[in-house]
Chain A
Amino acid sequence: MLQQFGLKKSPWVVHFNCNSCNGCDIELLACLSPLYDLERFGVIHVGNPKHADVLLVTGSVNHRNARVLKNVYDQMPEPKAIVAVGVCASTGGIFRDCYNVLGGIEEVVPVDVFVPGCPARPEAVIDGIVRAAEKLELRRRGQPVSRPSLVPETHEPTPNPAAPPETVPATLASPAAPVAAPAELAKTP
């Protein structure tokens, strides 16, 4: 009975700046400010991945920090969720063509929520964290959690999170699947 309060109401976040230009990072800081007050949702900004439930990543992945990002991700105990904040974290953004940029963070870790924007607005970041917290709860119950796709959805209905597992592709159903990006999640060229 008590369990339903847990994860949804207390998503502790850890922020990792991958390759960001700081725009999204300072908007994350602004989320903590009295105007937006992230703590309303029980969010604590912990510096330690071992305590965190939600990983907020800003910026794209480069050769040096890919390993660090994977490391931070691996240190987080299950259930966990990843939020890609801003377009750089989602696809590489304006820096996609840079020689040292590998692309969005999807290259390294599975993403649960993409927050758009350059930089992402604090409202959008808060929304992303709250959505990630809902996914945490589903994940704990062992229910299938859909991973978003950056490929625009054409006419398919949005996946029902409570749908029975057999209707969901196996790769999507397993919450702990490492970087199993299904074919339809492959990025647009």
Chain B
Amino acid sequence: MSQRTTIPFGPQHPVFPEPIQLRLILEDERVVEALPAIGYVHRGLEKLAEQKDFQQDVFLIERICGICSFMHAMNYCQGIEQLLGLAVPERAKYLRLIWAELHRMHSHLLFLALLADSFGFENLFMQTLRCREEILDLMEITAGNRIMLTTCCIGGVRKDITPDQLKRIGTGLDRAQASLGELGGAFAKDYTIQRRLKGIGVLTREKAHELGAVGPVAKASGLAMDLRQTGYAPYPELGFTPITETNGDAYARMMVRLRELDQSAELIRAAIGRLPDTPLSVPFKGNPTGEVAARIEQSRGELLFFIKANGSKNLERFRARTPTFANLAPLLHMLPGCELADVPVIVVSIDPCISCTER
């Protein structure tokens, strides 16, 4: 029985919080071919960024994606600061790092929850989301909003984290890590989860490099590639080394994120311990001019902003290459040959952010 069926997987499909359509051509329940149809969340943000004032753009660019919003704003600010030749105060760098890592934690926890959902483990889904609320609380306490922090501005940060709040971050991380320890055990050791993840969606090291995989997808395939090593924020001073796995399957991708969660918590603690006492931001005058390609390691991988400014208050060109955009090609490489039951697992395992991808 090898009847071919075409399945429109999406755009409105319960496993994706976001609309992407994968046209899956199935033989029985085996995927023969997968074709993407995107554009359901294409807004035209790059164009709008060119029409707005470059300072307004911080808030616009933060909304490229609601999951890793802070890191988008951070990358944009870093790019503009580079063009303006601004030296950001040390405290602002550390505060940015703290918020960025909090964002990474909540993003990875969301990933784990969605992964649990993708293989139908409702209990784990709920527990992971519960753990995620701890992190969201920390963001709300420090910035006033659960997801869109809007604390980053050109030249530094707009808001300080008070010593009380720093203490609260410490206890919040303790609680999150405690429950994360239990959850991590379940994720890593549960028999049914291993059956669903091991050997699924394998991406070899060579293919990962050739297809330009970034972030946890690349790290799971053994490519030690993490832009946090380049030192855009005080990561090297805090002793950062990228986490890698070798198997390149969905399980490895999950393990990378699981381990990065603990690493992020430790980075935040270390940053709190060394938080310097300097002003929060530097004032600046004038408009940026020149071209820059700003890069940052976002929770899903390398984020590249190409910014071209011409000395007016509008940018001449703003281009965003988000990590999921780079991970689409590896995804399309992984899908053919898998079972229909594994499609949600594989798709979720790259942690797709379609909103980033299409802007």
A–B direct touch, CB within 8 Å, in complex? yes
- Identify the A interface with B (CB < 8 A): 14-30, 32-35, 45-49, 59-60, 62, 64-65, 68, 72, 94-95, 97-101, 118-119, 121
CB-defined contacts of A98 to chain B, threshold 8 Å: 43-45, 47-48
21 inter-chain pairs at a CB distance below 8 angstroms, sorted by A residue, are A14-B12, A17-B16, A17-B41, A19-B43, A20-B18, A21-B355, A22-B355, A23-B148, A26-B147, A30-B132, A30-B133, A33-B126, A33-B130, A34-B126, A60-B43, A62-B40, A65-B19, A68-B40, A98-B48, A119-B148, A121-B146
A97 lies within 8 A of B113 (CB): no
With A29-B17, A34-B126 in contact, do A100 and B42 touch (Cβ < 8 Å)?
A: yes
Nearest A residue to B117 via CB reads A29
B42 lies within 8 A of A64 (CB): yes
CB of B142 within 8 Å of the partner chain: no
B19 lies within 8 A of A94 (CB): no
- Interface centre among A22, A46, A59, by most chain B C-beta atoms within 10 angstroms, is A22
Nearest B residue to A58 via CB reads B17
Residues of B in contact, count (CB < 8 Å): 42
Contact with A along B245-260 (1 / 0, CB 8 A): 0000000000000000
CB of B172 within 8 Å of the partner chain: no
B8 smallest CB distance to A (angstroms):
11
CB-defined contacts of B136 to chain A, threshold 8 Å: 30
A68 lies within 8 A of B11 (CB): yes
B67 lies within 8 A of A22 (CB): yes
- Identify the B interface with A (CB < 8 A): 11-19, 39-45, 47-48, 51, 59-60, 63-67, 69, 110, 113-114, 126-127, 129-130, 132-133, 136, 146-148, 353, 355
The number of inter-chain residue pairs (CB within 8 angstroms) is 132
B129 lies within 8 A of A59 (CB): no
B129 lies within 8 A of A30 (CB): yes
A24 lies within 8 A of B14 (CB): no
Q: Bound complex: CA of A57 vs CA of B172, how far in Å?
A: 32
B38 smallest CB distance to A (angstroms):
9
Q: Bound complex: CA of A143 vs CA of B130, how far in Å?
A: 40
A68 lies within 8 A of B12 (CB): yes
A20 lies within 8 A of B41 (CB): yes
With A64-B39, A68-B12, A121-B146 in contact, do A23 and B130 touch (Cβ < 8 Å)?
A: no
Known: A14-B12, A22-B67, A98-B47. 7 other contacts (CB 8 A): A21-B64, A23-B63, A23-B147, A34-B129, A95-B45, A101-B43, A121-B146
CB-defined contacts of A62 to chain B, threshold 8 Å: 40-43
Partner of A97, one of B17, B51, B127: B51
With A68-B40, A97-B48 in contact, do A17 and B19 touch (Cβ < 8 Å)?
A: yes
Q: Bound complex: CA of A98 vs CA of B42, how far in Å?
A: 10
